[in-house]
């Protein structure tokens, strides 16, 4: 199953160059806990996240994440006709790697230990609980509640299941989980999310 998932991920998504083993180990040291094996294999064998500066799969800190940051600064500078320094100050809150993203969200909100965002668009995120044996995956949306648990919905029991749902099952597990969350919050069974973040 993992080989099939990896083959499809390579085929369907654009990727930054793979991370080195040392870069992955440094990320784990900075986080304070190990990453799930399948996630480390993706970073090392497929690519270190998406090259998209606005959304997509998030990698470990390395040169590619620095380059993504610089690209966004250039885009903002050109769009607003401002200096590089002014643009850099405007995008300082963006985090292009899982370590910076995790540390920022831990400082600014009620984000819980051991849970790293792996994909998102700035409004909602898919995150993996690195403290669970198989890497359970949840969707987080701050508009759902004022606690981390209230703002989250489990969408897969493992990273393997998460990617399979995205690649081969038309996001059925995600849609079911989000529909249940919406029903719990608002008393309706209408789906909250029609366009999932990870476009596969």
- Residue 113 pLDDT > 90: yes
- Residue 185 pLDDT > 90: no
d(CA 183, CA 192): 9
Domain residue spans of the chain:
2-186
Domain covering 2-186 in this structure, CATH number: 3.40.1580.10
- Residue 114 pLDDT > 90: yes
- Within 10 angstroms of residue 131's Cβ, the number of other Cβ atoms is 13
**pLDDT at residue 189 in the model:** 53
Average pLDDT over residues 79-96: 77
pLDDT digits (tens, 9 = 90+) for 8-61: 888 887 888 999 999 999 999 999 999 999 999 999 999 998 877 566 788 999
As beta bridge partners, residue 127 has 117, 138
d(CA 124, CA 104): 15
Q: At what angle do helices 159-168 and 172-186 cross, to 10 degrees?
A: 100
Contacts of 59 (CB under 8 A, 6+ apart): 16, 19, 43, 47, 48, 49, 50, 65, 96, 97, 98
pTM of the predicted model as reported, rounded to 2 decimal places: 0.81
Average pLDDT, the chain: 83
**pLDDT at residue 92 in the model:** 62
d(CA 120, CA 126): 6
**pLDDT at residue 11 in the model:** 85
């Amino acid at each position: 199953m993992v080989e099939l998932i990896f083959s499809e991920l390579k085929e369907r998504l654009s990727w930054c160059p793979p991370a080195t083993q040392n870069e992955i180990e440094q990320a784990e040291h900075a986080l304070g806990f190990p990453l799930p094996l399948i996630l480390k294999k993706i970073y090392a064998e497929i690519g270190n996240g998406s090259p998209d500066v606005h959304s997509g799969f998030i990698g470990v800190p390395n040169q590619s994440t620095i380059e993504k940051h610089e690209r966004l600064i250039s885009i903002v500078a050109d769009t607003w006709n401002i200096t590089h320094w002014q643009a850099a100050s405007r995008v300082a809150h963006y985090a292009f790697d899982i370590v910076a993203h995790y540390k920022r969200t831990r400082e600014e909100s009620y984000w819980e230990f051991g849970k790293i965002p792996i994909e998102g668009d700035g409004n909602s995120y898919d995150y993996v609980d690195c403290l669970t044996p198989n890497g359970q995956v949840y969707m987080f949306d701050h508009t759902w509640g004022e606690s981390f648990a209230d703002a989250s919905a489990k969408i897969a029991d493992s990273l393997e299941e998460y990617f399979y749902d995205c690649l081969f099952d038309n996001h059925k597990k995600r849609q079911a989980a989000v529909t249940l969350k919406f029903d719990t919050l608002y008393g309706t069974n209408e789906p909250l999310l029609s366009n999932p973040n990870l476009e596969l």
